[in-house]
Amino acid sequence: MAYCVKCGVELDLDLTSCPLCSTPVYYPEDITEETKKRYPDRIQKVQPKHVNLVPSKAFVYLMTFLIIIPVIVCLMIDIRSNNTITWAFYPVASLLLTWILMAYPALMKRYSFMKVVTIDIYSIILFLISLDIYSGGFLSWSVYPVASLLLIWVYYLLAFLFRHKNPAFIIIIGAISTGLFLYLIEQATKSVWFFNLAIPLLVLIAILAIFVLILSRYTKRVGLLGLILTAISFLCLGTEFILNRFINNTFSLFWSLIVAGVLIPVAILLFFVQSNEEFRTYLQKKFHL
Amino acid sequence: MKANTPRKKHPGWYRLDNAAIIYPSIQSARITTMFRFSATLKEEVDPVALQAALIKIIKRFPYYRVRLNRGLFWYYLEHNPKTPKVEKDVQYPCGRLTPLLNRNFLFRVRFYHQRIAVEFCHVLTDGTGGVTFLKSLLFEYFNQIGKNLTDRTGILTADEEPDPGEFEDAYNRFYKPALPLPETGESAFHPKGKLVKKGLYYVVTGIIPLKDILAEAKKRQVSLTVLLTAVYMDAAQFLQDKTVKKPRHKKPIAIQVPVNMRNIYPSKTMRNFSLFVIPRIDPRLGEYSFDEILKIVNNSMMAEINEKSISRQLSRNVGGQRNPLVRIVPLPLKKLFVPLLYKRLGENLCSGTISNLGLITMPEEMKQHVDRIDFIPGPGPINKTGCSVTGFKDKLYISFGRLVRDPELERVFFTKLVKMGIHVTIESNI
C-alpha cells in the first residue's frame, strides 16, 4: 500500500500518481500481481445527431380532423352562396397541401429524408400548377416557381444522393440543369440572352471548375490557393469578354485586366512558395505565429 | 401479467413530478442530470444473469420503465415498451443521456468486473429511489446466480405489485397554498477553472473508516453530515481566499445539502422527493475558523430541517408549477425560461453540493456478498465539483465528481480529514 507523501492519504493500488496533487508514487515493494483499474478505458458513445421530423400517427389523426373542419366550412359557404366552387378552391387546396406535407412522412413505412423532400417538392409543384390553371392560364406565372423548385431538387439530389460520385459528374450535371432552367426562364420571359450570354458563362464556370478540380490533385495548401486565385482571374477575364461582346459587341478588356494583374502575380508567388523549399522555410522562419 | 402491458391503475403515462420538470429543459452535455450508484460485489459480475435480473425487476418499477416525451405544455413520461439492456461500464460515469443508443430509457445499468452500477436521470427519481432500485436489482441478481436469499426486509422484490403510493408526486400531495416565500439569499461564490472537454468527468473517491469519522463527529457533538458539510465549506473558503484577495470582492459561501423529504412527510414515493437546506457563511466579514463554521452549519441545519421551514420551499416550487399563467405557456417558451430559473434559484445560490445518503442498509445475508456501495454525483458546470457520501458496512465512501482538471477542492477536503487524524484511501478514474 502506498501513501502520498504530500497529502498523507493512502492510494489505491492502480494509481501511479496521487489523484489529488499529482505527486508521482514510488512503490517500495514491487507489485507483481496484475492490479485491476478501478474504471475501464472505455468512453461512452456519443449519440448521433438526430432530428425527428416525423410526427406520430396519433398526431396525424388529430391534425386530419383539425384540417377537415375548415375544408367543410369553406366548401359549404362557397356552395351555398355561389352554387359552385369559386374562391373555396384556394383554401381547400392549401389545406390539402398542408396535410400531404405533414402526413406523408408519418404514414411512410420506412422513413427517408430523401423521399420526404422529393414528395414535398413535387406536391408543392402540383399545388402551384393547379392554382395557376384555376386562376385562368396554363403555366403562366407558375413557370418560375416550378422551374426553381425543380432546379433546387436537382441540386439537392446532387448534394445528397450523388455526393460520393465523381465531382466532375456533379459539375456537368449541375451546369446542364442550370442551363435548362435558364432556357426555360428565357422562353417564359420572351427575351434573347440564352445562347449569347448564359451558355458561354455556364461553360466558362464549368470548365474552370473542372480544371481546378483536376489540377488540385497536384497542389497542396498554398498552391491550391494560387490555383483558385488563377481561376478567379480567368473567370473575371472571361466574364468581361462575354459581357462586352453581348452588350456592346466590342472585344476590349478593362477591369478584369486589373483583377488579373493583381491576382496572377500573387498566384505565381504562391506557386513559387510551394515549389521552392528554401524560400518556404525562410518565410516560415520569419513570419511564424 | 404480460411484460408489455402497463399496470391497470395507470394509463401508461405520468406527469413529471415537481422537481423533475426543470431537468429535461436544462440537460446538456455539461449538466447531464445523471447520478450514479454502484455496488461492488465479492465476485465477478455475470452479465447474462444481470440482464435476466434487470428484465425481471423492471416490472416492479413501472415508473422507471418510461421514456421522456413532449406535450404542448409540459414534458411527460410514457410507458416504454422496450426492455432495458445492461451495458459495459465506461471510464467517465454519469455521461449524457443517449436515448437513441439506450432504447429511450432514462437510466442505465452498467457492469465492470465485480461492479454493478445504475445511473439515473434526475427526471425519474432522487438518490433514495436510485438506491432502492439498486438494492432490488442486486437482490434479484443474487437469486439469479443461485444465492437464494430469503430475508427481504427493506427490499422491493419482483414478485410483489407496486404500491400506488410509489407513483405519487409527493410534492403536490403535501403542498400548502399561500405560504410566505423562502429567503433566497444572494449569489454565492463559485470555484473558478476552465472546464474540461465535454464528456470527461473526473471522479475521486475517498474511503474512510466509519468509526473514526463518527468518533470525530461525536467529539465535536455534531452529526456526520454537519461535520462533512463544514469541512466542505472550509475547503471552499480556502479556495476563495486563494483566488480572491480583496475582502469586498468575496462572496458568501453556501453549501447545498439535499434533505430526504420522506423523513419529514409520510410518503412512499419512488420518484423525486427531496429539497435543500443551504447553510452559508459570509467571508467578507472575516475568515472563519473551522469551529465557527461547524457551529453555523450545525445551527442552520437544526433550524431549517423541519416541516415548517422546508414547506416554504415546497410551497414556492409547487405554487410555480400550479400557476395558471405558467401552465398555459407552451413548452418551447417554457424551455427558454427554465434554465434562467434554475440558475437563479438553484446553482447560483450555492458554492457546492454535498449529498449524504447515510448508511445503506440491507439484510445481513445479502450484505455478505456486497463489498461496497458508491454514490457519484452528477456534473454541474457552475460549481464544477460535487460531492456525494454513502456509508456501507464499516466504511464511508466520499465521492467527488469534477469538470475541471485540478482537484483543488478535493485535495483540501481530504487533507483536512487527514489532519484530523482520519485515515483516507483515495481512488480515481484518471
Q: Measured between CB atoms, which of A7, A42, A47 is closest to B98?
A: A47
- Please count the residue pairs, one from chain A and one from chain B, whose beta carbons lie less than 8 angstroms apart: 89
- What structural domains and CATH numbers belong to chain B? 13-173 (3.30.559.10), 202-428 (3.30.559.30)
Instruction: Reply yes or no on whether the pLDDT at B258 is more than 50.
Output: yes
Amino acid at B78: E
Contact B276/B345 with Cβ under 8 angstroms? Answer: no
End-to-end CA distance of chain B: 46
Cβ contact B88–A18 (<8 Å)? no
Report, as an integer, the average pLDDT of B234-239: 94
Residue B411 and residue A21: Cβ atoms within 8 Å?
Answer: yes
- Mutation site for B-interface testing, chosen from A21, A38, A56 by largest number of B Cβ within 10 Å: A38
- Parallel, antiparallel, or unpaired: how do β-strands A10-11 and B66-70 relate? unpaired
* CA B206 – CA A8 distance, rounded (Å): 12
**B-chain residues near A19 (CB < 8 A):** 204, 407, 410, 426-428, 430
pLDDT of amino acid A74: 93
Instruction: List, for residues B25-59, the tens digit of each pLDDT value.
Output: 998 888 999 999 999 999 999 999 999 999 999 99
pLDDT in tens, A53-88: 667 778 888 889 999 999 999 999 999 998 888 888
User: Is B199's CB within 8 Å of A43's CB?
Assistant: yes
CB contact under 8 A, B427 and A19: yes
Measure Cα distances from A163 to A157, A166, A170, A180, B216 in Å. Answer: 8, 8, 8, 21, 69
Flag if A8 and B410 touch (Cβ within 8 Å).
no
CA distance B96 to A85: 56
pLDDT at B3 over 50: no
Minimum distance, in Å, between the CA of residue A23 and any CA atom of chain B: 12
**Whole-number Å distance between alpha carbons of A121 and A115:** 10
Confidence class of residue B218 from pLDDT cuts 50, 70 and 90? very high
Q: Are B163 and B181 in contact (CB under 8 A)?
A: no
What whole-number distance in Å separates Cα of residue B255 and Cα of residue A276? 64
Give the DSSP H or E segment for B55: helix B47-57
pLDDT digits (tens, 9 = 90+) for A262-273: 999 999 999 998
Beta strands in B145-239 (DSSP E): 202-209
Interface of B with A (CB under 8 A): 88-93, 95-96, 98-101, 112-113, 199, 203-204, 206, 407, 410-411, 414-415, 418-419, 423-430
The Cα of B44 is separated from the nearest Cα of chain A by a number of Å equal to 12
Q: Which chain B residues contact residue A4 at CB under 8 A?
A: 426
Burial A196-205 (b: 16+ CB within 10 A, else e): ebbbbbbebb
Q: Is the pLDDT of residue A34 over 60?
A: no
Among B159, B110, B118, residue whose Cα is nearest residue B135? B118
Helix (H) or strand (E) holding B319, with range, is helix B307-322
| Residues 6+ away with beta carbon under 8 Å from B102 | B108
Q: pLDDT averaged over chain A?
A: 86
Burial letters B164-187, b for 16+ CB under 10 A, else e = eebbbbbbeebbeeeeeebeeeeb
Query: For chain A, what's the residue count?
Result: 289
More confident of the two residues B85 and A30: B85
DSSP letter at B125 equals: -
Residue from the list B91, B98, B414 with its beta carbon closest to the beta carbon of A39: B91
CB-based contact B116:B141 (threshold 8 Å): yes
Cα angle for residues A277, A281, A286 (degrees, 5° grid) = 150
Per the model's pLDDT, the better-predicted residue between B331 and A47 turns out to be: B331
For this complex, say whether ipTM is above 0.90. no
Work out the percent of chain A whose per-residue pLDDT is above 90. Answer: 37
CA distance B262 to chain A (A): 33
Report yes or no: B189 and B251 within 8 Å, Cβ to Cβ. yes
pLDDT in tens, A198-236: 999 999 999 999 999 888 888 877 889 999 999 999 999
Q: What pLDDT sits at residue A48? A: 78
Single-letter amino acid code for the residue at B142: F
- What would the mean pLDDT of A102-128 be, rounded to a whole number? 83
Reduced 3-state DSSP string for chain A: CEECCCCCCEECCCCCECCCCCCECCCCCCCCCCCCCCCCCCCCCCCCCCCCCCCCHHHHHHHHHHHHHHHHHHHHHHHHHHCCCCCCHHHHHHHHHHHHHHHHHHHCCCCCHHHHHHHHHHHHHHHHHHHHHHCCCCCCCCHHHHHHHHHHHHHHHHHHCCCCCCHHHHHHHHHHHHHHHHHHHHHHHCCCCHHHHHHHHHHHHHHHHHHHHHHHHHCCHHHHHHHHHHHHHHHHHHHHHHHHHHHCCCCCCCHHHHHHHHHHHHHHHHHHHHHCHHHHHHHHHHHCC
Chain A contact probe: residue of B89, B91, B406, B409 with most A CBs at under 10 A: B91
Chain B residue with Cα closest to A2: B425
The residue of chain A with its CA nearest to that of B407 is A20
Band (pLDDT 50/70/90 cuts) for residue B4 is very low
Show Cβ contacts of residue A40 under 8 Å, excluding neighbours closer than 6 positions. Answer: B88, B89, B90, B91, B112
**pLDDT score recorded for residue B252:** 93
Residue B319, all three cell numbers: 405554487
Residue of B65 and A12 predicted with greater confidence: B65
Number of Cβ atoms within 10 Å of the Cβ of A191? 9
Entry pTM: 0.74
* Nearest chain B Cα distance for residue A102, angstroms: 17
Confidence of residue B6 (pLDDT cuts 50, 70, 90): very low
| pLDDT value for A33 | 54
Count the alpha carbons within 13 Å of B41 in the hemisphere toward its beta carbon: 23
Residues of A in contact with B99 (CB under 8 A): 47
Per-residue pLDDT band for B10 (boundaries 50, 70, 90) equals low
What does pLDDT average to over chain B?
90
| A25 pLDDT more than 90 | no
Report the residue of A20, A25, A41 to disrupt the B interface, i.e. the one with the largest count of B CBs within 10 Å: A20
Name the closest residue on chain A to residue B89, using Cα atoms.
A40
Please answer yes or no on whether A9 and B407 come within 8 Å at the CB atom. no
Nearest to A19 among B112, B113, B407 (CB): B407
CB contact under 8 A, A7 and B429: no
CB contact under 8 A, A4 and B426: yes
Establish how many alpha carbons lie within 13 A of residue A120's alpha carbon, considering only the half-sphere containing its beta carbon: 15
Spatial distance between the Cα atoms of B314 and B320, rounded to a whole number of angstroms: 10
pLDDT at residue A35, as a whole number: 62
What is the amino acid identity at position B243? Answer: T
Percent of chain A with pLDDT over 70: 93
Looking at the complex, report in whole angstroms how far the Cα of residue A38 sits from the nearest Cα belonging to chain B. 6
Q: Find the residue in B nearest to A44 (Cα).
A: B90
At B208, is the pLDDT very low, low, confident or very high (cuts 50, 70, 90)? very high
Question: Are the Cβ atoms of A40 and B88 closer than 8 angstroms?
Answer: yes
**In 3-state terms, what secondary structure has residue B270?**
coil
Which of B97, B412, B427, B429 best probes binding to A when mutated, by most A CB atoms within 10 angstroms? B427
Going by pLDDT thresholds of 50, 70 and 90, the confidence category of residue B209 is very high
